[in-house]
A and B are shown apart, each in its own frame.
Chain A
């Protein structure tokens, strides 16, 4: 399906890198490295240089921690979105938020995508996205409260649950007025899931792709990689890229990542193996 992300449209076969940009002092991977606004702008410049099509700006870390009010979240992201919009007119700007009030404010500041990592916890978020002409990422969390860790959650069939919930969310977004070509689904690895769930979602990602909605995967350095390989944050890139390759083979469209260059190489390589992308430059044996 052709994908429209706010101001930007992408061809049916385009794969997209969504680079994570944290406006937080405490996110798990970068430990606040881009908390300062200028550091965050440098991060945007770097990932644009590396070829990211999308930046995903977040003002609140996913894990439990100090409560951040909507006003403070806006303080962290709204003006920043406006600065990035002004500096990079061709860049897709996504904002990672579950709050409708924040979504409305960032759309007004120039955001193209609302990445609702908490699966529709705020029912009015889709209205804000529709109003702002933004795309929506519909994630599966198993119904957990935002910023909580999974505890003894089980599913009869985690993939069926992820499909049912994300498609229902997608249909709710469309009913609220979000354009159909602007709705993306995300199984949300680790969110409301144990490692076995996330591995199974990776293995069976093609079933999500078969819904017809473009699929986003957010795998980067997550705990399911860490537990699978018994490796701490900071040592999970290879495992992340292995999971990325499996998702690429299944035709995931958007990859939410810390490491843009490495992920792009893996996705391009897998796409070419799958026959969906020609090699960059082929001459061996063809001279």
Chain B
């Protein structure tokens, strides 16, 4: 049995960037709930910054690093997100292709039977796809996601999703 979770690599989730008010409170709550469901010591699929966010979420969820899983369930923590070019105020300004790309990416993440978009567009659309690309290779057919969070509050597309196979 494998459990997998997707969270976005949002640096505002890191404690070193905490303000007095949490600008990503809803997202954080969804991430922590999903990570707790995932369990301790998952394999992290992410770029370097995303791995930092992933480890931080695991700590915040109460899982100390180095713990071995207590069951035979394997865990995958995927850190990645859609385009950061979804609005004029977005970090990468507006790219008209961003919404279509994210729609296709959402569909492919939600069901392993859907067609993936061209992930080579990720760089130009400021999408963080390292971990998601590796998930694509690992996840078997016939798996659908539970979607816990799906929003783009700062012009960046975030998802929190869970899979089990």
A residues whose Cβ falls under 8 Å from a Cβ of B:
277-283, 285-287
Contacts and interface: CB of A to CB of B under 8 A. Distances in A.
A239 B10 CA distance: 41
28 contacts: A278-B18, A278-B19, A278-B20, A279-B20, A280-B19, A280-B21, A281-B19, A281-B20, A281-B21, A281-B23, A282-B12, A282-B17, A282-B19, A282-B23, A283-B23, A283-B24, A283-B154, A285-B11, A285-B91, A286-B10, A286-B11, A286-B12, A286-B17, A287-B11, A287-B84, A287-B154, A287-B155, A287-B156
Nearest to B17: A286
Interface string B128-165: 00000000000000000000000000111000000000
A149 to B, nearest CB: 43
B150 to A, nearest CB: 16
B19 A279 contact: yes
Contacts, number: 35
Contacts of B10: 286-287
A194 B155 CA distance: 56
Nearest to B155: A287
- Majority secondary structure, B binding face: loop
Which of A277, A281, A286: most chain B Cβ within 10 A?
Answer: A286
A55 B23 CA distance: 33
Contacts of A281: 19-21, 23
B21 to A, nearest CB: 4
A286 B9 CA distance: 9
A277 B21 CA distance: 12
A277 B19 CA distance: 9
Nearest to B13: A286
B26 to A, nearest CB: 13
A271 to B, nearest CB: 11
Nearest to B8: A287
A36 B84 CA distance: 58
A189 to B, nearest CB: 30
